[in-house]
Amino acid sequence: MVARPEQWWAARVTFERSVQGQDVLPDDVQGACGWMACLAQDKDSIMDRIETALTAVGLKLRELDRVTPICSSEDLRGFDDHLAQNIENVEPGKKVVWGTIHLYRAHGEA
Protein backbone atom coordinates (compact mmCIF):
# COMPACT_ATOMS: atom_id res chain seq x y z
CA MET A 1 0.00 0.00 0.00
CA VAL A 2 1.34 3.43 -0.96
CA ALA A 3 1.28 6.08 1.78
CA ARG A 4 -0.55 9.29 1.00
CA PRO A 5 1.58 12.43 0.82
CA GLU A 6 1.41 14.82 3.73
CA GLN A 7 -0.55 18.04 3.40
CA TRP A 8 -1.18 21.06 5.62
CA TRP A 9 -4.24 21.17 7.86
CA ALA A 10 -5.35 24.11 9.98
CA ALA A 11 -7.17 23.65 13.28
CA ARG A 12 -8.48 25.88 16.04
CA VAL A 13 -6.70 24.81 19.20
CA THR A 14 -7.36 25.54 22.87
CA PHE A 15 -4.56 24.71 25.30
CA GLU A 16 -3.54 25.36 28.89
CA ARG A 17 -0.43 25.28 30.98
CA SER A 18 0.40 21.87 32.37
CA VAL A 19 2.11 21.01 35.64
CA GLN A 20 5.47 21.35 33.87
CA GLY A 21 7.20 24.67 33.48
CA GLN A 22 6.73 26.37 30.13
CA ASP A 23 7.84 29.51 28.30
CA VAL A 24 4.82 30.18 26.08
CA LEU A 25 2.27 31.65 28.50
CA PRO A 26 2.91 34.53 30.92
CA ASP A 27 2.65 33.63 34.62
CA ASP A 28 -0.81 35.20 35.05
CA VAL A 29 -2.36 33.38 32.07
CA GLN A 30 -4.04 29.97 32.29
CA GLY A 31 -4.30 29.16 28.60
CA ALA A 32 -4.87 30.31 25.07
CA CYS A 33 -6.71 29.53 21.89
CA GLY A 34 -5.88 30.17 18.29
CA TRP A 35 -4.93 28.50 15.06
CA MET A 36 -2.18 26.03 14.41
CA ALA A 37 -1.29 24.13 11.27
CA CYS A 38 -0.06 20.58 10.99
CA LEU A 39 1.59 18.67 8.18
CA ALA A 40 -0.04 15.24 8.12
CA GLN A 41 -1.23 12.47 5.84
CA ASP A 42 -4.79 12.46 7.15
CA LYS A 43 -7.19 14.12 9.56
CA ASP A 44 -6.79 11.33 12.13
CA SER A 45 -3.12 12.06 12.88
CA ILE A 46 -3.49 15.82 13.37
CA MET A 47 -4.57 15.70 17.00
CA ASP A 48 -1.63 13.46 17.96
CA ARG A 49 0.89 15.73 16.23
CA ILE A 50 -0.48 18.93 17.74
CA GLU A 51 -0.78 17.36 21.19
CA THR A 52 2.84 16.17 20.97
CA ALA A 53 4.02 19.66 19.93
CA LEU A 54 2.15 21.30 22.82
CA THR A 55 3.40 18.75 25.36
CA ALA A 56 6.97 19.38 24.20
CA VAL A 57 6.69 23.01 25.38
CA GLY A 58 4.86 22.26 28.65
CA LEU A 59 1.27 22.76 27.50
CA LYS A 60 -1.74 20.46 27.33
CA LEU A 61 -4.34 20.27 24.62
CA ARG A 62 -7.89 21.07 25.77
CA GLU A 63 -9.76 21.16 22.48
CA LEU A 64 -9.13 20.88 18.77
CA ASP A 65 -11.86 21.74 16.28
CA ARG A 66 -12.57 23.24 12.86
CA VAL A 67 -9.93 21.03 11.24
CA THR A 68 -9.61 22.17 7.64
CA PRO A 69 -7.28 21.07 4.83
CA ILE A 70 -5.30 23.91 3.28
CA CYS A 71 -3.71 23.84 -0.13
CA SER A 72 -1.28 26.71 0.42
CA SER A 73 -0.46 29.52 2.80
CA GLU A 74 -2.60 31.78 0.61
CA ASP A 75 -5.68 29.96 1.96
CA LEU A 76 -4.89 31.61 5.32
CA ARG A 77 -4.15 35.16 4.14
CA GLY A 78 -6.46 37.65 5.82
CA PHE A 79 -7.61 34.93 8.19
CA ASP A 80 -4.41 34.41 10.18
CA ASP A 81 -1.50 36.12 8.47
CA HIS A 82 0.90 35.00 11.21
CA LEU A 83 0.05 31.33 10.55
CA ALA A 84 0.40 31.86 6.78
CA GLN A 85 3.88 33.37 7.26
CA ASN A 86 4.94 30.54 9.56
CA ILE A 87 3.90 27.93 7.00
CA GLU A 88 5.90 29.75 4.31
CA ASN A 89 8.96 29.86 6.57
CA VAL A 90 8.68 26.51 8.29
CA GLU A 91 11.97 24.99 9.41
CA PRO A 92 12.94 21.72 7.71
CA GLY A 93 11.54 18.75 9.59
CA LYS A 94 8.88 20.75 11.50
CA LYS A 95 5.37 19.30 11.27
CA VAL A 96 3.45 21.84 13.39
CA VAL A 97 3.40 25.63 13.19
CA TRP A 98 1.69 28.22 15.37
CA GLY A 99 -0.53 31.07 14.33
CA THR A 100 -1.90 33.96 16.37
CA ILE A 101 -2.93 32.93 19.87
CA HIS A 102 -5.35 34.70 22.21
CA LEU A 103 -4.55 34.41 25.91
CA TYR A 104 -7.08 33.88 28.68
CA ARG A 105 -6.62 34.42 32.37
CA ALA A 106 -7.46 31.95 35.12
CA HIS A 107 -10.20 32.37 37.68
CA GLY A 108 -7.99 32.69 40.74
CA GLU A 109 -4.42 31.46 40.29
CA ALA A 110 -2.94 30.49 36.95
Residues 10-60: pLDDT tens digits?
999 999 988 667 788 888 888 999 999 999 988 889 999 999 999 999 999
| For the chain, domain boundaries | 7-105
Residue 32 phi, psi (nearest 5): -160, 165
Residue 99 phi, psi (nearest 5): -110, -155
Q: What's the CA gap between 4 and 22, in Å, rounded?
A: 35
Confidence tier at 110 by pLDDT (50, 70, 90): very low
- Rounded to the nearest angstrom, the gap between the alpha carbon of residue 29 and the centroid of all alpha carbons in its chain is 18
Residues 79-104: pLDDT tens digits?
899 999 999 999 999 999 999 999 98
